[in-house]
Chain A
């Protein structure tokens, strides 16, 4: 590699990293507790405990659950019902003043599917974990915050790529894994920066890219509404707004008939951003481990309960679905969470050592051979 080429890559690496470092540190630090949010919520005593009942206790139907929800929060309407494989007797319920209310103003709680009893989930509506989550997702700045973080994620990916290119000239004369302890602190950290950076490369790239995709979720959902939904609900454009919804009782059976082999993930009620004004959307997930992250919406007319369409799944919605586990690290049990946290801390060390190396190089502001130029 020519020294001019090295200087160019070094410039890219220095500036993409420096610009995104503060944000990446914020993301890595807030991401750490989020990996264990489930366990932390349990420790804080915030996780709802379902009542002990015989295993075969029958479930209420969905219309009864809607009524139970409305009794719990009079004046609010149900936006979403969510289903969790780990807690088959619970229905996650999201309500708000109107169906179209923005997500951060909604109220989340849990319904016992057997009794209709409401259990509050305080951590989903406020408190420490939600505070950390909002810092991580949008820094309390809404869509502009998300897009800024997405841009920082792109810079992070560029920093990783340029760093990998620079790995070659740095390591040409060194064995893999060499950490020089006996020369200087700077050299020790340079070697560690290179070593930790290169072994965490794939993980950091995957978490970075999936984070960027998740940060663009609002735009992807809007695109999906435009692409897929608009055409499907075109016949309803001039239909008057619904005053009465057909009962939700059989929604899951209706969806199961047109999406065999799939399982319900959540139901979006009419007027929410995952549905149309005139439809219940039942989002069905695939029946295998891999396809369980891919969602197929079944649009059900909210007055006749006829299936309007099983919507297409555009590739970007699949990308969004697959991004979630790959970003959260919640798909391989506790050992995976611990590895996720370890790799996260290692990334913090790479970020920190990068800043350190840049500062040291700037202090030693004297003419330097090109190879040291790349040290930042």
Chain B
């Protein structure tokens, strides 16, 4: 499976549960935008590494709402402390999905440490996260997304970006419509 296949599964779950969704910088944001643009999506256009952190803060302030963050292996490696902070807080409404394709997919597929020695699921567990899942096909991902409101899912994905358009919404509008959706109960 590729990243876009994981994003399709995540979108289905977000629509079914009316969750809030944080999308990672670069191609993941654009792929999400092309699959389904909705007010539930926060497109993180900069601040590489912080998709999981934004989702954590959101989940802790919206305890009744399911929150999902899409992250990547390169981004988690940039902010590895996030796995410890998520474990310390362990909100029951926060699902972090790390799409691990072993490369910096938005910048030319330079290999990351996960294509060599690093196992992010093991890192997440060693950081203290109790519910860590690893999947490599869309059906397995779908089942966990449906069943779980919290935890960390590492999706082992193949390399590859879809040819998708640039996001045409300005940052202020992305934020305003997302906050309006987040404040709706």
Indicate, yes or no, whether A interacts with B.
Answer: no
